[in-house]
Structure 1
Amino acid sequence: MTRTIWRNIPSTPVLFAALAVMWGTSFVAIEVGLDYFPTLTFAAIRYELAGLVMLAYAVYSTDRWRPKTRDELLATAIGAVFIIAAYHGLLYLGEHYIPGAIAAIIISLSPILTAVFASSILSTDSLGKTGMLGLVAGFVGVVLVADPGAGGFDSAQSYGILLVFLGAVAFSLGAVLTRPLRTDLPVQSMQAWTMFVGGVILHVAGLVRGESFAAIEWAPVGIASFLYLTLVSGAVAFLIYFELLDRVGPTELNLIGYLEPVVAAVMSWVLLGHAIDATALVGFVSIFAGFALLKKQVLLGFVATVRRRVAV
């Protein structure tokens, strides 16, 4: 069924670019929506609704829509706690203090953190000298984005960057912890339950934090932000993600994280008038250089895949 949906789309780069735009603009949409929604409640209802939409799609498109085995239940729980609840909770909280474009740059550190966690937790190949150099380059990039000279590490912006960085850590750790788990549950079903359960966790955290629905301001801009995040950056984007996952694999698909900050920067400037300074741009380049040092073969493999798709 999934194949029928995409039969008229000829090229992987088209889908790759579309996904980068949808996920890159989500950082700006979050920044806009936070003016109208309580922080964690905003993230919670987004993922509760998106999870239900994805679950309906899973029931329609797969032969198994719910987890059954111990590993499937554990993978769902890890994804819900780390990848949805912790990551997005910290991201949304952090965007109270920093623009979405800066948050996107910090999140682009995730592939580097994933490689580090995989090396230490899963006993995969050690990073080696080149990998350590890549790790250092990535963290130098974060420091440059934080720009401590502008206000010190105790400034509000540095606090926001710390929150978003911890979100990237949670995302990367969750991604690594799920790798050893064996599951035959279709990815659509897994993603649906992860999103919905993660949304419920965020909802509970919001209630503990003192948030309530009464604080929501139902303004057109806020509603548009929420619908975009839920339906476009959520449901539609994940359908594209599943197709690309089948075409190029998860490792190459992680490179999408390096297009998202570019999209976020452009849209943040166009819609909100936020320009990224030269120091932050240098920091992003340093983060990407760190990933390139860690994953040279991944980059080469991705380029080869794209060339093959374009040739077809």
Structure 2
Amino acid sequence: MKDKLINWSFFAALSVIWGSSFILMKAGLEVLSPYQVASIRIMSAGVVLLPFAARAFAAVPRNKLLLVITSGLLGSFFPAYLFCIAELKISSSLTGILNALTPLFTIIVGISFFKLKANIWKLAGVLIGFVGLCLLMMASGEVNMGEFSYTALILIATLFYGINVNLVGRHLQGIGSLNIAALAFVFLLIPCLIMLYVTGYFSHAFGERQVWLSTLASFVLGTMGTAVASVLFYMLVKRAGPLFASLVTYGIPFVAIIWGLIYGENINMLQVGSLVVILGGVYLVNKK
């Protein structure tokens, strides 16, 4: 009973943290480019976890080092840029809803590459989730090719999440959650710093209030939405398994929608109905 309570506590915390990430991205994009917001996000996570890096490097087996770095790339680095670029054209609430497809990709990747067994319920869930996605595209007016290309970036990011969840659940069970996160993000510090330099971040007028607010939003996004959340997520995957961990996406879109309503984004009932269809598919996918 105590273990279940802890697992659900992690679930609730991750839902709130990650559900708030999409509106923080919007705040960062007020002044900064998507590449700058994503770089600050990942770099600030690496700085927060830097004190734990030396111990993590000593604790992680050398034959697992490449897997840990790959986990950081698939679970945080690439999705961070994909999400920020996508939010140039689509709302934070819609982004949060699309993120609910993560469990579907988790099961598809698990069946295809990680020998996860499928049954009729899981296959039906994948089909229903796809139908929900199509309805969502129609409800959101994202069906023209120009806008759909940005929506597709979110789908790629959720695919990366699905791969990462299976990777961690299958190959990194014996490694401490903090060690995985610390190593993954510290290795990404230099690439992010280079990205900030190349994209002209250091040329901004830092005397302007809005530049600082966008930078602060990106920093909070990194420390909470990436560093703290990644440690919690790795712990949840190892405690409750990859499928339960992927169910965090049940809570994320509802938090994202609440933030979207607070900041005046347009959300219609057909979008909410599409979310219910998607989550129905997710439920069937994870039904025992």
Conservation of the 8 A alpha-carbon contact between 1:24 and 1:263: yes
Q: Deviations over 1:126-151 (max 9, x none)?
A: x2332221111111122222227836
1:196 aligned residue (171, 186, 189): 186
Report the counterpart of residue 175 of structure 2 in structure 1. Answer: 185
Counterpart Cα distance in 2 of 1:240 and 1:81: 17
Report the counterpart of residue 306 of structure 1 in structure 2. Answer: none
Report the counterpart of residue 25 of structure 1 in structure 2. Answer: 20
Report the counterpart of residue 294 of structure 1 in structure 2. Answer: 285
Pairwise CA distance, 1:287:
1.3
Quick check: 1:213 aligned with 2:207?
no
Counterpart Cα distance in 2 of 1:160 and 1:97: 7
Aligned length: 280
2:264 aligned residue (254, 273, 297): 273
Letter in 1 for 2:201: F
Pairwise CA distance, 1:188:
0.4
Quick check: 1:42 aligned with 2:37?
yes
Conservation of the 8 A alpha-carbon contact between 1:86 and 1:171: no
Pairwise CA distance, 1:276:
1.6
Relative to structure 1, the CA distance from residue 239 to residue 294 in structure 2 (aligned partners, 3 Å threshold; closer, same or farther) is: closer
Q: Deviations over 1:241-272 (max 9, x none)?
A: 466567645532322211111011111211x2
Report the counterpart of residue 114 of structure 2 in structure 1. Answer: 122
Conservation of the 8 A alpha-carbon contact between 2:30 and 2:214: yes
Conservation of the 8 A alpha-carbon contact between 2:72 and 2:185: yes
Report the counterpart of residue 263 of structure 1 in structure 2. Answer: 255
Pairwise CA distance, 1:177:
3.7
Pairwise CA distance, 1:175:
2.8
Q: Sequence identity, in percent? A: 21
Q: Any gaps of 5 or more consecutive residues in structure 2?
A: none
Pairwise CA distance, 1:65:
4.3
| TM-score (normalizing by structure 2) | 0.84
Letter in 1 for 2:29: L
Pairwise CA distance, 1:202:
5.1
Conservation of the 8 A alpha-carbon contact between 2:124 and 2:284: yes
Relative to structure 1, the CA distance from residue 148 to residue 64 in structure 2 (aligned partners, 3 Å threshold; closer, same or farther) is: closer
Over aligned residue pairs, what C-alpha RMSD do you find? 2.8
Relative to structure 1, the CA distance from residue 161 to residue 199 in structure 2 (aligned partners, 3 Å threshold; closer, same or farther) is: farther
Quick check: 1:166 aligned with 2:156?
yes
Letter in 2 for 1:21: V
Conservation of the 8 A alpha-carbon contact between 2:137 and 2:143: no
Counterpart Cα distance in 2 of 1:21 and 1:205: 29
Pairwise CA distance, 1:93:
0.9
Relative to structure 1, the CA distance from residue 194 to residue 217 in structure 2 (aligned partners, 3 Å threshold; closer, same or farther) is: farther
Conservation of the 8 A alpha-carbon contact between 2:35 and 2:84: yes
Conservation of the 8 A alpha-carbon contact between 1:46 and 1:229: yes
Relative to structure 1, the CA distance from residue 239 to residue 185 in structure 2 (aligned partners, 3 Å threshold; closer, same or farther) is: closer
